[in-house]
Amino acid sequence: MKMIAGLALFLFAALLAPGAAGTAEACSACGDDDGSVVTFVPVGRGSYGGVSDRRFIVVKDENEWKELWGEINGNVLPLPPLPDIDFSRHALAAVFQGLKRSGGYSISVEAIIETGDRVTVSVREREPGPQNLVTMALSSPWEVVAFPLPQKPVLFTSVQ
């Protein structure tokens, strides 16, 4: 078990390293022509989180992160280790799709764009089509990404 935890910590540290995989690229559907692309790295994602309402939030401190991590993993025992975030340099964007009646749903941060007056987090939500095969289990898709601590208001927008 210690080996798995060590490997998970190593992989997480690699994701936060500069130039790591999972960084943002320009998103033409996000309308990012007027701003600069902000690099972000995934912290976690899943289909069966413990958050049952649709919500988009920014986390800027350790206590709020601990509380949110407990809520995300409220249906998991033992609670997975809290990913370490340097809140003096980074913030988190957490997006939750809410409780769904089946699998096949997903939510993701597509891009983070900084303009003159704001930082915009572009979020894509997907749902299964009528002919798709899905699991017949309740799901609650979520994703959390880390990005440089913003000095401007952060807004969320949905993209198609």
Domain ranges of the chain: 2-159
Determine the average pLDDT of the residues in 126-138: 94
The kind and range of the H/E element at 14 are: helix 2-16
pLDDT of residue 19: 34
Give the whole-angstrom CA distance, residue 5 versus residue 10: 9
Determine the average pLDDT of the residues in 135-158: 97
Backbone angles phi, psi at 106, to 5 degrees: -155, 160
Instruction: Give 153's pLDDT tier (boundaries 50, 70, 90).
Output: very high
Pull the structure tokens for residue 102: 């089946």
Widest Cα–Cα separation across the chain = 47
Determine the average pLDDT of the residues in 62-78: 95
Q: How far, in whole angstroms, is CA 22 from its chain's centroid?
A: 12
Residues 6+ apart with CB under 8 A from 103: 47, 128, 134, 135, 136, 137, 139
Pull the structure tokens for residue 81: 């280790």
Instruction: Give 34's pLDDT tier (boundaries 50, 70, 90).
Output: confident
pLDDT of residue 127: 96
Pull the structure tokens for residue 135: 């699991």
Pull the structure tokens for residue 44: 């976690």
Q: What is the pLDDT of residues 77-98, one digit of tens each?
A: 999 999 999 999 999 999 999 9
